[in-house]
Amino acid sequence: MGSLITMTTRRTAVKWSKRLGRYLVSQDDVRKGELLVEKLPLATGPKCNGGLLCLGCYQPNVQERCSNCGWPLCEDCDAVGAVHQHAQLECAVLKQTRFYELPEGTWYCPQLDCIMPLRLLLAKELQPTRWDNEVAPMEHHDQARRENSELWHADRVNIAQYLRGPCRLAERFSEELIMQVVGILEVNAFEARTTQGYPLRCLYPYTGILAHSCVPNTARSIHPSEGFKIRLHAMVDLAAGEQLRHSYTYTLDGTAQRQSHLLEGKFFQCQCERCLDATELQTHFSSLKCGQCTEGWLLPKLPTDKDSSWHCRACGHSTSNEEVQQLIKALQAEIGQVQALEQGSKRLEEAERLLRKYKSLLHPAHYLATSLRQLLVELYGRVQGYEMAQLTDQQLARKVELCREVLAVLNVFEPGQSRARAMHLYELHVPLVLLAKSGFIASRLSGSELRTHLVEAIDLLKECVEILRHEDETSQEGILCGVASQALKQLSVSVEGLGTELD
């Protein structure tokens, strides 16, 4: 069956294929950074398997209760009354049942698992046309979820039977429909954070059908200060009709880890170009050092097969996936121990030690080595004994090297305007500026060379700000955008002054 356009926005269209189901494409040529989609969520609510929280602002461990239904609601949210979504949606339903207080020391509140599904079910009644056109066709992987009988049974008891029983909704919603809604949320909902940083779930039916790829070409930002509006931007230039791709897993994990996450959480196996390539687009992001020769690397024979054997293309040596995973598990445990160290300077020194150790075991760009580099980028300049002003030129150069190595990986897996790229650009500009000034003071750099290095740092900051300008101002990335903007202004003034002096 051929592709069929079923819905459009100004910049995007929905198409269908037998292999992908529904997916989004660009309507016309799009430049990187341009806005593709802007939508409010159909429903928002607490994350599943969470603790006690306010049903209004998602503040955790709230002790106050709604004055109408008796369910968790902080005093501020209760005070605004009917203007709040809790009062507008589920309050009347929950008034018919009782909220049971959690025993002392209990962190999980199973009663709250029903809130987000209930809000989506109520949205179905309020917006039936939107439900039929956008939500009903969404994937819910009913059969795959049934195979996890323990989780299925818990959802059936805590959500479906609770809503149909104590909440007295049996005549309005069938068990089949409720379980379908649970699946839609599990597969398609996005996590967001409030302006105070509290986590929640949002369902965006339109952007929820974005095709997955481990090399995405779109980036999303969610704006809590605007009702959790989602904005989808192009990370790279897109041609008219090009499929829009988003990553539903962490791009800086290896293939086996990404596949496992997608299969367990999204119920599909990724078949993107990166996953099908044992070298992960020539990065060797999961490759191991061959123990039988000096030049070869161990690669999975079938990258998407979790039981695939591993082979060296140089000498032909092979080993089992079980042996490979045992090694990876041992190295992950070592990294975990380093990350858990309380003393920042010790964490930094141990991370550097592990990187040196892993040279004989892993490809230099392996994802575990990359994760250590990311940790070191964060630590250099921030921990006691390694504050930015105290770093030697050698240590500053080391931070530059680490940033560039991570950026080289991001250039392949998150090309264009990605948040991770922006944050590493910011990290890179600081040691570049300090090294340039140090070199000038020591007469190793001329005035014009100093200016060249500072202009490079300005360019990094400009790109950083350009990427992060899409983020909500209250988010971590939005705050960094403000910091980077201020640094850009100050550095630009310094360079202008330097140019006058050189003239």
What are the residue ranges spanned by the domains of the chain?
7-41+205-246, 43-203, 274-399, 416-503
Adjacent-strand bridge partners of 501: none
Instruction: Please state the pTM of the whole predicted model.
Output: 0.91
Residue 502 pLDDT grade (very low, low, confident, very high; cuts 50, 70, 90): low
Instruction: Give the mean model confidence (pLDDT) for residues 406-422.
Output: 97
> 434, 436, 408, 422: which is closest to 481 by C-alpha?
422
pLDDT score recorded for residue 148? 73
pLDDT tens string 277-330: 999 999 999 999 998 998 999 999 999 998 999 999 999 999 999 999 999 999
- Count CB atoms within 10 A of the CB of residue 287: 24
Alpha-carbon span 205 to 452, nearest angstrom: 48
Instruction: Convert 460-499 to b/e letters by CB count within 10 Å (16 or more is b).
Output: bbbbbbbbbbbbbeebebbebbeebbebbeebeeebeebe
In which order are the strands placed within the sheet that holds 43-45?
43-45, 199-203, 190-193
* Euclidean distance between CA atoms 333 and 362, whole angstroms: 15
- The answer to whether domain 7-41+205-246 and domain 416-503 are alike in fold is no
Distance CA 233, CA 55 (A): 30
Q: Which architecture does CATH list for 7-41+205-246?
A: Beta Complex (2.170)
Q: What is the pLDDT of residues 121-130, one digit of tens each?
A: 999 999 999 9
Antiparallel, parallel or unpaired: β 211-212 and 245-246: parallel
Average pLDDT, the chain: 92
In words, the CATH class of domain 416-503 is: mainly alpha
How confident is the model at residue 8, as a pLDDT? 44
Please write down the long-range contacts of 434-443, taking CB distance under 8 Å and 24 or more positions apart: 434/388, 434/391, 434/396, 435/393, 435/396, 435/397, 435/400, 438/393, 438/396, 439/393
Task: State pLDDT tens for residues 50-91.
Answer: 999 999 999 999 999 999 999 999 999 998 876 678 989 999
7 with 13: CB under 8 angstroms? yes
Q: Is pLDDT at 411 greater than 50 in this prediction?
A: yes
Q: Phi and psi dihedrals of 15, rounded to 5?
A: -125, 170
Distances (CA, A) of 426 to 219, 376, 407: 19, 15, 11
